[in-house]
Amino acid sequence: MLDKLKSIGKQTIVYGFGSVLNKVLGFILIPIYQSHIPIADFGNLVYYETIIFFLSALLSYGITSGHQRFFYIEKKNGTYGTFLFNNFLGCLVLSFISIFPMLLFSNWIALAIDNSVSQASILRISLLIVITEILYIIPLQILQYEAKPIPYLLYNALKLFVTFLVTYYFVVIANSGFEGILFGRLIGGLLIVIITVFFIVYPRVNLKFNLESLKKTIKFGFPHVVSTLGYTLFMITDRFMLKWLSTPDELGKYGFGFRIANFVNLIFVQTIGMSYFPSVMHNENKLDNMRYYRKMLTYYCFLMGFLILGFLFYYKEILWVVGKNPKYWEGLKVVPILSLSFMVMGMNYFVQIGLFLKNKTKYYLIPSFFAIIINVIINYILIPVYGILGAAISVLVAQIIYTSILTFISGKFMKVDYEWGKIFMVFLLSIALFYIVDLVVVDVLFIRLLFKFLVIMAFPIILFILGFFEKIEILNIKLYVKKYLPFQ
């Protein structure tokens, strides 16, 4: 078990650093946002980014999920070259066919969603971003599943560099507003697609048409897309409801807070999930697979509790360095709630294995259906009263319900006795320590930072006292630490 954790940990660090590079862009751009983008325009940016997120999930038609599921099988059968060619070509053709009519009628669509044709050019850029972001999923999956984290890291670094340069030129020099941010994202993504096609996809493909390869992935993946479409809608409901029930300024504040909290998702949650998923299939037929699946959820919650506390304790001090626009900073009050919701969301990687391994993807629709309804109702009630805090609370409540239902349904196909007592212990302790630090006011910066550090270090110690760790786990930790001590 410890060897498996070390392997996943190493991959998580590298893939996480790749995600960090992407989020560094968002961090670097914060001063540009605050000095060149009015909060209402930032709200419009959030709105179009939400559209990109939704269409990117829908218009892959499940091909990327199917490629992920059958990667090792096709490699083993020696048919991966044909499989890859038809799946990548399918992504290109189907996404372009889907987007092309929207490009033709972009004026009308802009009028329908924004009551103005003035945003049509921004809509067109957003639609082109959708195509590029669908197309570079498979090349990055290849690097991930072939265990090549360094190239994965380098491609992300290149994308960061190009996107920043283009964004800086259009926003700061050309004064293009938030349209320049989207244009930078488009150019950075397009460059990565072109390079990865030549250096990752082309060397591995067998240029042979075989629709059966494409049909197989769509047959597996599209029901997953349809089923998780509800989840995607649930994930964007908060921003659409804010646009409907509130003002562009409030949407901009919420969008900024969401973007900061999303560091937790993109740097921690997604990278852990990316590293864990290949191991799920590797351990599918192992004798100790149930213990592995059970303990991985426990370890995930422990690690995320520790990391999120560190993030919440120090992110404001870091943000202060790059600028403090009062309008933007009002959105930071949603960060703790959204960070917790992302932690719960990450549990889905672990509790869904019964549906994923048994190919029961259609059942994802059930928790999504309930989550959407609950999210809409709570948003409708809370946003007029509590504003952006109401939107954040609705996301957290709906996410808890989604994960609970998903766990129940997945357990019908593969029963895993997760350690819920220990998991709840982590959540309760994390929340308690956060509020202790939040209530204690320390004016001296050094003392404040030291106090927060000591509270974070107390987190695993308190869990140890409460009996969180098993004897074998404590023994393995001691042996591992002793192995790397500078003296014996």
| pLDDT at position 18 over 50 | yes
Selected residue with higher pLDDT from 465 and 14: 465
Mean pLDDT across the chain, nearest whole number?
84
* Residue 420 buriedness (CB in 10 A; 0-12 / 13-18 / 19+): exposed
Q: Which residues of 223-232 are buried (b: 16+ CB within 10 A; e: fewer)?
A: bbbbbbbbbb
SS3 of residue 272 by DSSP: helix
At 233-281, the pLDDT tens digits run 777 888 888 888 888 889 999 989 998 898 888 778 877 776 776 666 5
Contacts of 298 (CB under 8 A, 6+ apart): 418, 419, 422, 423
Tokens of 388: 């952006």
pLDDT of residue 416: 85
Looking at per-residue pLDDT, the higher value among 4 and 293 belongs to 293
Q: Give the percent of the chain with pLDDT over 70.
A: 87
C-alpha dihedral over 426, 428, 430, 435, to 10 degrees?
Answer: -170
Q: Check residue 282 and report its DSSP letter.
A: H
pLDDT given at position 205: 92
- Residue 425's pLDDT is 96
Cβ atoms of residues 100 and 227 within 8 Å: no
Tokens 């003296």 sit on residue: 487
Identify which has the larger pLDDT, 387 or 18.
Answer: 387
- 66-75, 136-145, 287-296 — which is least confidently predicted? 287-296
Determine the pLDDT at residue 369: 83
- What was the pLDDT predicted at 244? 84
Percent of the chain as helix, strand, coil, to the nearest 5: 85, 0, 15
Biggest CA–CA distance in the chain, Å, is 73
pLDDT exceeds 90 at position 21: no
Cα–Cα distances in angstroms (integers) from residue 70 to residues 67, 134, 207, 267, 408, in the given order: 5, 18, 19, 26, 26
Treating both helix axes as pointing N-terminal to C-terminal, what angle do 178-196 and 137-145 enclose, rounded to 10 degrees?
A: 50
Which of 127, 159, 118 has the alpha carbon at shortest distance from 140? 159
> In angstroms, rounded to a whole number, what is the distance separating the alpha carbons of residues 348 and 282?
19
Cα–Cα nearest to 436, from 324, 307, 318, 309: 309
% residues pLDDT > 90 (the chain): 37
- Section 480-488 average pLDDT: 56
Contacts within 8 Å (CB) and 24+ apart, 160-169: 160/21, 160/22, 160/24, 160/25, 160/188, 162/187, 162/188, 162/191, 163/25, 163/187, 163/188, 163/189, 164/25, 164/28, 164/29, 167/25, 167/29, 167/32, 168/32
Distance CA 453, CA 450 (A): 5
Q: What is the pLDDT of residues 89-119, one digit of tens each?
A: 999 999 999 999 999 999 898 888 776 677 8
Question: Is 60 exceeded by the pLDDT of residue 8?
Answer: no
Segment 420-442, tens digit of pLDDT = 999 999 999 999 999 999 888 88
| Residue 488: CB atoms within 10 Å | 5
2 — pLDDT class (breaks 50, 70, 90): very low
Q: pLDDT tens across 119-161, in order?
A: 888 999 999 999 999 998 999 889 888 878 788 888 888 888 8
Q: What integer is the mean pLDDT of 178-183? A: 90
Q: List Cα–Cα distances, 405 to 72, 292, 427, in angstroms.
A: 30, 22, 19
- Mean pLDDT, rounded, for 33-61: 86
The Cα–Cα gap between 156 and 158 comes to 5
- Helices 211-245 and 63-77, axial angle in degrees (round to 10): 150
pLDDT band at 26 (very low <50, low <70, confident <90, very high): low
Buried b (16+ CB within 10 A) or exposed e, 376-412: bebbeebbeeebbbbbbbbbbbbbbbbbebbbebbbe
End-to-end CA distance of the chain: 25
Q: What is the rounded CA–CA span in Å between residue 55 and residue 159?
A: 21
What angle, 0 to 180 degrees and rounded to 10, lies between the N-to-C axes of helices 445-465 and 289-322?
170
So what's the pLDDT on residue 475?
78
Distance between CA atoms of residues 73 and 80, nearest Å: 8
Dump strand ranges (E) for 69-168. none
Residue 360 has a pLDDT of 76
More confident call, 40 vs 364: 40
Question: Region 305-331: what's the mean pLDDT?
Answer: 86
Check whether 456 has a pLDDT greater than 70. Answer: yes
For the chain, what is the radius of gyration of the CA atoms?
Answer: 23
Res. 45: pLDDT tops 80 = yes
Instruction: For residues 233 and 244, give the distance between their C-alpha atoms in angstroms, rounded to a whole number.
Output: 15
pLDDT winner (highest mean) among 185-189, 212-216, 261-265: 185-189
Q: Among residues 134, 126, 52, which one has the least CA distance to residue 92?
A: 134
Single-letter residue type at 455: V
Q: Which of 448, 286, 416, 259 is nearest to 347 (CA)?
A: 416
* Average pLDDT of the segment spanning 56-81: 87
